[in-house]
Structure 1
Amino acid sequence: MELKASMAGSVWKITATHGEAVEEGQDVVILESMKMEIPIIAESSGTIKEMKVAEGDFVNEGDIIAIIE
């Protein structure tokens, strides 16, 4: 499953790493946009196969943030 950015912003904090098991509803990345923190949460349980962003990166709405298997 591709985890995508819900809005444009900067990657403020990565809370899950490559190879880590995540549960549905768990924060994976926190974006910062207009001084607000926007959590990007796992839509299903699985393992982070690939993290496509790094802290400080800018993402646009719809950009792939991580791949969860």
Structure 2
Amino acid sequence: MQEVKASMAGSVWKITVSEGESVDSGQDVVILESMKMEIPIAAEQTGTVKELKVAEGDFVNEGDVIAIIE
């Protein structure tokens, strides 16, 4: 199991996967917006998205769990 975590504080601009979807290592899971920059957050392992912990528009802090991948 992998917890995909926010690398910095920002707003969830776009979610690029859905629960139950297979993802590859390095594939973007969400894109954060911070200081007018888009920051992609990628999966670190291949697996299936078990749970998304955020919705588009949510604010996250650095280290917050965004998704669970199994």
Q: Which interval holds the TM-score relative to the shorter structure?
A: over 0.9
Superposition deviation, residue 32 in structure 1:
0.1
Identity, in percent, stands at: 80
Residue aligning to 1:28: 29
CA RMSD in angstroms comes to: 0.2
Give the unaligned 5+ runs of structure 2: none
| TM-score using structure 2 length | 0.98
DSSP 3-state at the match of 1:24: coil
Superposition deviation, residue 4 in structure 1:
0.2
Give the unaligned 5+ runs of structure 1: none
Give the partner amino acid of 1:48. V
| TM-score using structure 1 length | 0.99
Pairs aligned (count): 69
- Structure 1 runs of 4+ with >6 Å offset: none
Deviations 1:26-64 (A, max 9, x none): 000000000000000000000000000000000000000
